[in-house]
Structure 1
Amino acid sequence: MSSMQFHLSALASAISLAFSVSQANAQTAATVEPESPVKTLEEVTVSADWLGAPTPEAAKKHPGARTVVTSQELTESGARTVEDALRTVPGVRVLDESGTGILPNIGVRGLNPLRSEQVLVLVDGMPITLAPYGQTGLSLFPLTLNTVETIDVARGGVAVHYGPNNVGGVINFVTKRIPRKTAITAKETLSVADNGRVLTDTYLRAGGFVSDRLGLQAQANVIDGNAERDHSATTVNNLMLDADWFVTDNADIKAGLQYYKTENEMPGALTPQSYEQDRDQSTRPLDRFDGDTLRGHLVYNQYFDNGAELSWSNFAHRSNRQFFFGNASNADTPSTLEMSSPRGFWVYGSEPRFTFDIDGAIKQKIAIGARYMREEVDYVVDSRNVATNAYAVTRDWRFENDAVAAYVSDTFSLLDDKLKITPGIRHEKVDLTYRNNLTGAETSNPTRDWLPGVDIGYQVNDALFLFANFHKSLRPVQFTQITFGGDLAAERAKNYEAGIRLSPTRNVDAGLTAFRFDFDNKIEFVSATAGFRNLGEARHQGIEAELAWRPKQVRGLEFKTAYTYVDTEQLSGQFEGNELPLAPHHQVNLQTNYRSGAWNWNVNGLYQSAAFSDGANTVAENASGSVGKIPSYSVWNAQVTRDFSWNSTKMKAGLAINNLFDRDYYFRGVDFSQGRMPAPGRAALVTLQMDM
């Protein structure tokens, strides 16, 4: 606990300093014209970004399937991890690799969730992937949920405006904004497992406008303790600093700086025999994970009198992550080597975007943008002999990438703005290079492609909205895939989506979406000697149905349900005709929320049908548990929340039970840890929040 107290003391000092500055300038801030900076900030959110404001109201007008998880839902649904937070989103599946929430694996509409490789994950519109082009896997997830205000999930094609690796759409985690008035938040969450192990989650925040044009904010989140399983000690320190500077009435600068560090023991996967003996045990004492990242972004926005906007985003990060693991694939077999895979990343990106309107017989909004990104990765694998302590480096690779993109879209507004059609096109130019520092071998892989798209949204009347879209997307050849040499083509997919949203009364909202992904050139691993080849075509198709009902007879009561059906098929290659791995056919999301005065009651549940763990569609489980059909499961969370005041300070207390019925369920292991990966069991969450 001494380490945690040290970090908390340092972080609290930083927040105290920000609060002191805010207090000293409170009188100046009070004289501000209330609309000037706030209105400018709002226009940045609505106009400059293709998705628009991250609100449920804006999502209803989006020409595609989109769900916004609000701050209130995050607070009142027992959500401590990304898995909890996304559990109510149709078509989204999250697998928790660590048991503590630090390494979520996210899949959308039957896409493989492992390492979240096939969905574009953003924080405040900036990619958090370690190498967004060359290594799309999120093997470091530098985010803590307490810093998040809303989660914006746009499923389907958005390739024109957001670039590659978005077959599964975009998930944008929007962090807490700087408040107009000085505010402090302190929050403590205790997660207590059935076996008594405790994980603490401490959050502090202070921010506000220190003058009429400058806003500052500091956030600190420290997670420390153990999950229910053995060998699961976890420490996370997340510090975020934000600034909003309204340079003039028509220009502003937004800046952010984050330092994130995590050190974790990894309990790892279990064989079926070990799982049945005790699913809370760990048989992989050498497995652990460390990571840290320093990230920054700077966005300049300029607004012109004719309604045009210029936005110039810049972002960079320097990151390190390292897995330690034994060399035995069978979790019950002692390892003779302690392996390690340190990775170093340096990434920089710059993206200017200009939007302007053309008023005429047909209203148009044109967006023109470009992006440059530089990626550098040091990729090492080493080992230490457990008996002799002898050390060896088995891989020492260097990867570099220069990516340049340009795009344009034009939104036509017809029929009194009821019908909006947005055609667009994007060009991607990606140059990956590889050098083996041990052998001197070098190779490269270029990608050039045009990504067209079109979005159509039609507001038939107040109750009915129709939409359809088509996008071509790609996932570039990955760094590790070019180490074998040979000419590989990027994975490409065509995304189709069509749907309807209906609100027949003020108390009912419904939606139905049909989708299809057609993959071409899927890259598959052949063998250790042959490497990777473009072998596969594949298809994903299905429907999503959503319904929300707020009965008039009971004020404050709301029921939400969603059903997702996914059908997948491998259309070529060795396993032609089989289903794709980790793609369950059926998913059901359920949520009931009742708000009465200061009290809120929430129950939410998820059902996932069975899925295959491999392309061969193996049904029988092998001895290690690395392959075999994954059983279906359901899991429920429940939370009661109460708002109250204490000495004129706003307080919020919550009690939640996650995995209410203590269901045992699992998925198959990730990377080096193969076998049954137990999902988190039942845990009680006690939360107390103070807002000043």
Structure 2
Amino acid sequence: MPAYVVIGSRAAVDLLPGSGSFLDLDDITAQGYDDINQVMRRIPGVYTRQEDGFGLFPNISIRGVSTTRNSKISVMEDGILSSPAPYANPAAYYTPTTGRMAGIEVLKGSSQIRFGPQTTGGIINYLSTPIPLRQSGRALIQYGSDRDARAHVWYGDRHQTEAGTVAWLVEHYYRSTDGFKTIDGTAAFPGSDQTGFRKQEPMGKLRFEPAALPGHAFEIKIGYTDLVADETYLGLTEADFRANPTRRYASSRFDRIDTRQTRTYLRHHFDPSPDFSLTSTLYYNKFSRSWYKLHDARVVGGSFRSLSEILAGQHGQGAIDILRGEAAGDLRLRNNNRNYRASGAEVNLRRTFETGDLSHRLEMGVRLHEDYEDRFQNDDVYRQNSLGGIDSITRGMPGTQDNRRGTARALAFFVEDRIGFGDLDVIPGLRYERIRYTNVRRNTTPGPDFNTTLPGFPQRRTIDYFAPGIGFNYRPEGNLGWFGGVYRGVAVPGPGDATGGAQLREETSLSFEAGLRFRGDDGITTEVVFFHTRFDDLIVPDNIGGGGGGITENAGRVNSTGLEVSFAADPGRASGWAVGTPVYSALTLTRARLASDVEAAGAGGAAVESIFSGGRKGNKIPNIPDWQLQVGGGLEGERWRLIADAFYFPGAYGTANNTRNLRRGRDADGELDSRFGRLDRYFVVDLSLHYRLTENASLRGTVENLFDWEYVSSRIPHGPRPGRPRSFSAGVELTF
């Protein structure tokens, strides 16, 4: 199995000592999905919280961990950590684009040994388009509602030369849309329907297998992402949402995020025999983002107030009217200007051998990694008149709101041995990490000392952790297999939270799972998994976008217990019908509860209380429902295919105090807060129709959210936010 894959194929899932899923190109593209939230619904045990309706900023939970900006899972692309700063700030604003992927792998309970640093929740590995084995290419052109235009084109070839084999791939992905929301007009502003985004992603791969060095291969990959989105943190009041969920207030018209990401790696593969392989990788990722967005507001002469509190009515109708552009006041916009770097080197070794009656597949890996997050932020104040126009702007000097850098240097090592005896495999393993943090804060006051390091900095701290685990896989003759394991997981804080006066403890987990897999001769597949995870010293990140409260805290203990059931079959093909009838289902039952009271009140002042504020022992974890269900099916003829997917979400609490009534949704300071309340239940049905014109050309049409269900998909960052309404698209796919 190549080092850049986690599972490798759908068939390889049967060999895992834990629960995992492999989604191939057809699973991703059948409904034309480009939103990772939609794709993850097919996998039991995975919860998602929609934020923007397009999956630009996903919030994914595996088995009940916090959904905060993917901060409790390790996200990779081609086996390389893809978060802008996986150690210094894993909850950053980048995720690989689903629409350009050839596959997605998800590993849950047994991921803690081989992959890190965030091991309490599992891993997601995106598989980019591979270099083809022969001259070939693909083009997908699609257009739909809200001027949603998408193009994905790739082409590659393989050549035999005297020097060796040369293979290459070039790819470009493009998507743009006006968005599905509309910004209010005022007496001084005409309004706007530009609430979408534009994304461009070129990528190239080159592979060389020298004739003079049999068993050696070198591969380089360079990719780039440019994203500009007219996206906001600001939601709506409860009443305004129920009247028109796709509305946006005029005060959010200046909000925009601009991100750029470069990803590169150089790999060397050495496979001298089927029993030995060595893969070495150098990687470098660069990410920058500037999210210029409304931060808070005030009446003229008053104090700035939290947007969440304003939307809840805590500060009166006058403050709400300022956000609507119907009253005079001040709007404070923050330029969250941040730069990230992540680089490293890793070596992975695989060796198979036998000792007596026992077979062994030994895997070892070591990684040296360094990353940082650098903040250089400022605030601007817009003076708004009673007509909703802007009379003046007071610009803040860059670096005067926040000016700091957090750096992490990590050494990671793992060893895992798959010991086989007949039909039984036992897989013990151990992961060790040493992380050295450096936290630097710089002077934000204009003057001769501006941008100099503050007294008492840099602050430093070193964290060491061990994560042992053991699993088994038992495959007796027949169609039934058993698996299970016990693993320790760790989620580490960032440099600013690990050092200085904070000295946060690392979050730890102890997870247990046991399950069975059935693979019938007639194509029926079933998997049933029981899991239980205990989390200690739960880390609640500081970012408002994830429901944090301005400071990161250890919020206590959590117990998460559940059952995952998946099923797939094609009775039509199994019965020899001319029409295929594939069906599948993914059911998750979860009981995720606080095992201790939470005192996550923050520092006072603005909306600093996290969504865990006020949580009490026995309360449910925010944004995690008790259950969810995805079912799908289709009809497949010789030249056509009709597919339907349906997803039911029964609703969930938005905060750990488990309040249903917004008027009772008070934070730890006793203020009304629009993040408090429930996420709506919803039932979403998606349809797609494919028709093959020729061997190399096909047409497709899709409908998402067929019944146009309106629902609160999230209450964070600030107030109720909608899921994407009904949308249509049509496209053509060409292969050559």
Question: Aligned letter for 1:378?
Answer: D
Q: Is the 8 A contact 1:562 1:589 kept in 2?
A: yes
Deviation at 1:444, TM superposition (A): 2.5
Q: Which of 503, 523, 530 pairs up with 1:514?
A: 530
Separation in 2, partners of 1:511, 1:594? 24
Q: Distance in 1 between matches of 2:522 and 2:14?
A: 14
Identity %: 18
Please tell me whether the aligned partners of residues 550 and 556 of structure 1 are also in contact (alpha carbons under 8 angstroms): yes
Matching residue of 2:337: 342
| Residue 148 of structure 1, CA deviation | 0.7
Find the aligned partners of 2:706 and 2:499 in 1 and give their Cα distance.
46
The residue correspondences of 1:46-125 to structure 2 (distance < 5 A) are: 48=3, 51-53=6-8, 55-125=9-79
2:375 to 379, 382, 389: 379
Q: Tell me, yes or no, if structure 1 residue 183 matches structure 2 residue 136.
A: yes
Residue 638 of structure 1 deviates from its aligned partner by 0.7
CA change 1:639–1:153 in 2 (3 A) is same
User: Are 2:474 and 1:458 equivalent residues in the alignment?
Assistant: yes
Tell me the secondary structure at the aligned position of residue 684 of structure 2.
strand
In 2: Cα distance, 1:269 partner to 1:592 partner: 35
Q: Of residues 189, 194, 198 in structure 2, which corresponds to 1:235? A: 198
Q: Structure 1 residues 386 and 425 mapped into 2: Cα distance closer, same or farther (>3 Å)?
A: same
Corresponding residue for residue 609 of structure 1: 650
* d(CA) in 2 for partners of 1:599, 1:394: 57
Query: Take 2:394 and 2:719, find their aligned partners in 1: how far apart are those partners?
Result: 28
SS at match of 1:178: coil
The residue that corresponds to 1:7 in the other structure is: none
Change in Cα spacing, 1:576 to 1:123, as seen in structure 2 (3 Å) is same
Aligned counterparts of 1:430 and 1:367: Cα–Cα separation in 2:
22
Correspondences of 1:402-551 after superposition (within 5 Å): 402-415=409-422, 418-438=423-443, 439-442=454-457, 443-482=459-498, 485-524=501-540, 531-551=551-571
Q: Does structure 1 conserve the Cα–Cα contact (< 8 Å) formed by 2:335 and 2:378?
A: yes
Partner of 1:391: 396
Asked if 1 retains the 8 angstrom alpha-carbon contact of 2:340 and 2:373, the reply is yes
Alignment of 1:544-623 (within 5 A): 544-551=564-571, 552-553=574-575, 554=577, 555-574=579-598, 575-622=616-663
Structure 1 residues 70 and 530: CA distance shift in structure 2, 3 A: closer
Q: Is the 8 A contact 1:107 1:113 kept in 2?
A: yes
Matched, 1:642 2:691: yes
- Counterpart residue type for residue 424 of structure 2: L
Counterpart position of 1:659? 705
Unpaired runs of 5+ residues, structure 1, are 1-43
User: For residue 208 of structure 2, what is the amino acid of its counterpart?
Assistant: W
Deviation digits for residues 275-320 of structure 1 (CA, Å, limit 9, x no counterpart): 1232121112232211001110111111134721111122111110
Distance, in Å, in 2 between the alignment partners of 1:533 and 1:94 is 23
Which aligned pairs between 1:246-285 and structure 2 lie closer than 5 A?
246-247=209-210, 248-267=213-232, 268-283=234-249, 284-285=252-253
Per-residue CA deviations over 1:474-510 (Å, capped at 9, x if unaligned) read 1111234347623221111112111001134423211
Whether the aligned pair in 1 keeps the contact of 2:655 and 2:675 (CA below 8 Å) is no
Change (3 A) 1:338 1:507: same
Equivalent position SS for 1:295: strand
Separation in structure 1 between the aligned mates of residue 541 and residue 469 of structure 2, nearest angstrom: 30
Q: Which amino acid aligns with 2:626?
A: H
Query: How far apart are the structure 2 equivalents of 1:530 and 1:89?
Result: 33
* 1:69 Cα deviation from its structure 2 partner: 1.5
- Report the CA distance shift for 1:271/1:145 in structure 2 as closer, same or farther (over 3 A): same
- Cα shift at 1:254: 1.9
Tell me how far apart the structure 2 counterparts of residues 592 and 667 of structure 1 sit (CA, whole Å): 25
TM-score normalised by the chain length of structure 1: 0.88
Q: CA deviation at 1:380?
A: 2.7
CA 1:59–1:525 in 2, change beyond 3 Å: closer, same or farther?
closer
2:257 matched residue in structure 1: 289
In the alignment, is the contact (CA less than 8 A) between 1:103 and 1:139 conserved in 2? yes
How far 1:610 sits from its partner (Å)?
1.7
CA drift at 1:535 = 4.2
CA offset at residue 650 of structure 1?
Answer: 0.8
**In structure 2, the residue corresponding to 1:420 is in which secondary structure?**
strand
Shift in CA distance, 51/318, structure 1 to aligned 2, threshold 3 Å: closer
Do the aligned residues in 2 keep the contact of 1:79 with 1:85 (CA within 8 Å)?
A: yes
Which of 122, 129, 148 is the aligned partner of 1:169?
Answer: 122
Tell me, in whole angstroms, the C-alpha distance in 2 between the residues paired with 1:484 and 1:664. 46
2-structure distance, mates of 1:394, 1:135 = 19
2:85 aligned with 1:131: yes
Structure with greater strand percent: 1
| Residue in structure 1 matched with residue 601 of structure 2 by the alignment | none
Q: Determine the C-alpha separation between the residues in 2 that align with 1:479 and 1:115.
A: 18
Q: How does 1:297-376 map to 2 (within 5 A)?
A: 297-305=265-273, 307-328=275-296, 329=307, 330=310, 332=320, 333-334=322-323, 335-361=330-356, 362-376=358-372
**Residue 359 of structure 1: SS of its match in structure 2?**
strand
Deviation of 1:538 after TM superposition, in Å, equals: 0.9
User: What amino acid sits opposite 2:243 in the alignment?
Assistant: Q
1:569 to 1:345, Cα distance in 2 relative to 1, 3 A: same
SS in 1 for 2:109: coil
Query: Once the 2 structures are TM-superposed, how far is the Cα of residue 168 of structure 1 from its aligned partner?
Result: 2.2
- 1:211 equivalent to 2:160? Answer yes
Q: Which moved more, 1:581-590 or 1:323-332?
A: 323-332
**Structure 1 SS opposite 2:113:** helix
Aligned residues: 634
Give the secondary-structure state (helix, strand or coil) at the position aligned to 1:379. strand
Q: 474-483 or 431-440: which moved more?
A: 474-483
For the structure 1 residues 588 and 337, does the alpha-carbon distance in structure 2 shift closer, same or farther, using more than 3 Å as the test?
same
When residues 539 and 71 of structure 1 are mapped into structure 2, their CA distance, relative to the original with a 3 A threshold, is same
Match of 1:201 among 127, 147, 150: 150
Q: CA deviation at 1:660?
A: 0.9
> Could you say if the C-alpha distance between residues 529 and 206 of structure 1 is closer, same or farther in structure 2, counting changes exceeding 3 Å?
closer
Supply the distance in 1 between the matched residues of 2:294 and 2:274 (Cα, whole angstroms).
62
Cα RMSD, aligned residues only? 2.2
SS at 1:684's partner residue?
strand
List per-residue Cα deviations over 1:261-283 (Å, max 9, x = no partner): 10110154222122123212111
Matched residue, 2:669: none
In structure 2, the CA distance between the partners of 1:683 and 1:312, relative to structure 1 (3 Å rule), is: same
Kept in 2: contact 1:61–1:465 (CA 8 A): no
Query: Would the alpha carbon gap of residues 514 and 201 (structure 1) be closer, same or farther in structure 2, given more than 3 Å must change?
Result: same
For residues 137 and 600 of structure 1, the distance between their equivalents in structure 2, rounded to whole angstroms, comes to: 39
Per-residue deviation at 1:102? 2.0
Q: Deviations over 1:223-265 (max 9, x none)?
A: 1221211241311010111112113331111211011110110
Q: Assess, with a 3 A threshold, how the Cα gap between structure 1 residues 559 and 601 changes in structure 2: closer, same or farther.
A: same
Contact 2:47/2:624, CA 8 A, preserved across alignment = no
1:626 aligns with 2:675: yes
